[in-house]
């Protein structure tokens, strides 16, 4: 993997899977923009800068078009181009159909689906102008299998699949590839906080491991590995694909 001279923008790059994606881009020579709603992104960027990496943090709630447009402008102003966009920011609050009111539905859709549309709309003109680029959208296993307690979430991720396929077709003529990754189950920062709130023991990932086909949950790095692969020249003829990185969880052996 050689991303020397390339610029990657990662939404939700402050924590969890997004932070691991940032790490992998930087370790392979890219420069990065962390676009995250949380100010923790500045701390993350500062840590990378102290190790000699070129990283910018921009506060960005992906559901707000002005903030998304600003994040892309910052990338362009700071680095002069934008090669990779990873739409990773997402929320996964639990609620079934009857617990889901309109405010809850709108919030999930605004961040998980509208945020991806807004970021693509902002970034694609830059990619067209420079002659190409690559977009990776983070979906979920639940996009295909649903999820009783993840009603709005699963539907928002289903929309991400359709958006990915739609853009892959229309942007190929601009040398822009659009793919996605479906993580299985990652004990990320956000997932741990949710499980804590549900009263689960801190070792819930180990407790659940025996039910996983390979005896473990996925790690943040498992997901990030696939993201950087899809952005690499090795994936130069891959577009419109959603790569499941779920250890066979969705496939069910």
Q: Which residues are tagged catalytic?
A: 153
The verdict on 222 binding ligand NAD (CB under 6 A) reads no
DSSP 177-221: EEEEEEE--B--HHHHHHHHHTT--TTHHHHHHTTSTTSSPBPHH
Provide the CB-side half-sphere exposure for 251 (13 A, CA): 11
Q: Work out how close the CB of 33 gets to ligand NAD at its nearest, in angstroms, rounded to a whole number.
A: 12
Window of 121-129, 144-152, 169-177, 183-191 that interacts with ligand NAD by CB under 6 A: 183-191
Judged by CB under 6 A, the number of residues near ligand NAD is 29
Question: Angle of helix 151-171 relative to helix 115-130, nearest 10 degrees?
Answer: 20
- The arrangement of strands across the sheet holding 7-11 comes to 55-59, 31-36, 7-11, 84-87, 133-138, 176-183, 242-245
Binding mask 117-146 for ligand NAD (x = CB under 6 A): ---------------------x-x------
The verdict on 183 binding ligand NAD (CB under 6 A) reads yes
Closer by beta carbon to ligand NAD, 133 or else 190: 190
Closer by beta carbon to ligand NAD, 90 or else 247: 90
The verdict on 180 binding ligand NAD (CB under 6 A) reads no
The verdict on 18 binding ligand NAD (CB under 6 A) reads yes
Unique residue bearing structure tokens 């924590």: 15
Among 190, 235, 242, 245, binds ligand NAD (CB under 6 A): 190
The verdict on 155 binding ligand NAD (CB under 6 A) reads no
Closer by beta carbon to ligand NAD, 21 or else 235: 21
Among 7, 10, 15, 180, binds ligand NAD (CB under 6 A): 15
Round to whole Å and give the CA distance between 223 and 20.
Answer: 8
Q: Which two tokens stand for residue 8?
A: 């990657």
Q: Which two tokens stand for residue 211?
A: 């039910």
Q: Work out how close the CB of 115 gets to ligand NAD at its nearest, in angstroms, rounded to a whole number.
A: 6
Decide: 46 and 69 in contact? Cβ < 8 Å.
no
* CA distances (Å), origin 139, targets 28, 129, 180, 214: 24, 27, 6, 21
Q: Work out how close the CB of 31 gets to ligand NAD at its nearest, in angstroms, rounded to a whole number.
A: 19
Among 21, 22, 48, 88, binds ligand NAD (CB under 6 A): 88
The verdict on 85 binding ligand NAD (CB under 6 A) reads no
Helices (H) and strands (E) in the chain, counts: 10, 7
The verdict on 111 binding ligand NAD (CB under 6 A) reads yes
Round to whole Å and give the CA distance between 65 and 146.
Answer: 28
Decide: 29 and 6 in contact? Cβ < 8 Å.
yes
Round to whole Å and give the CA distance between 78 and 236.
Answer: 27
Among 21, 56, 62, 154, binds ligand NAD (CB under 6 A): 62
Q: Which residues bind ligand NAD (CB under 6 A)?
A: 11-12, 14-18, 36-38, 60-63, 88-92, 111, 138, 140, 183, 185-186, 188-191
């Amino acid at each position: 993997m050689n991303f020397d001279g390339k610029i990657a923008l990662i939404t939700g790059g402050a924590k969890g899977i997004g932070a691991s994606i940032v790490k992998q881009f930087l370790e392979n020579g890219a420069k990065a923009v962390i676009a995250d709603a949380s100010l923790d992104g500045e701390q993350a960027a500062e840590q990378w800068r102290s190790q000699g990496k070129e990283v910018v943090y921009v506060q960005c709630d992906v559901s707000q078009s002005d903030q998304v447009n600003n994040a892309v402008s910052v990338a362009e102003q700071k680095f002069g181009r934008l090669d990779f966009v990873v739409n990773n920011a997402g929320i996964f609050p639990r609620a079934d159909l009857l617990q889901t009111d309109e405010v809850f539905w709108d919030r999930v859709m605004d961040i998980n689906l509208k945020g991806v549309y807004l970021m693509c709309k902002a970034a694609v003109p830059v990619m067209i102008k420079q002659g190409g680029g690559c977009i990776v959208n983070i979906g979920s296993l639940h996009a295909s299998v649903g999820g009783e307690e993840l009603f709005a979430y699963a539907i928002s991720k289903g929309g991400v699949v359709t958006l990915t396929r739609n853009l892959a077709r229309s942007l190929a003529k601009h040398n822009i590839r659009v793919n996605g990754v479906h993580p299985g189950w990652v004990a990320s920062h956000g997932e741990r906080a949710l499980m804590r709130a549900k009263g689960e023991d801190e070792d819930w990932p180990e407790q659940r491991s025996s039910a996983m086909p390979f005896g473990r949950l996925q790690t943040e790095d498992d997901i990030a590995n696939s993201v950087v692969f899809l952005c690499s020249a090795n994936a130069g003829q891959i577009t419109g694909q959603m790569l499941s990185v779920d250890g066979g969880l969705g496939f069910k052996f």
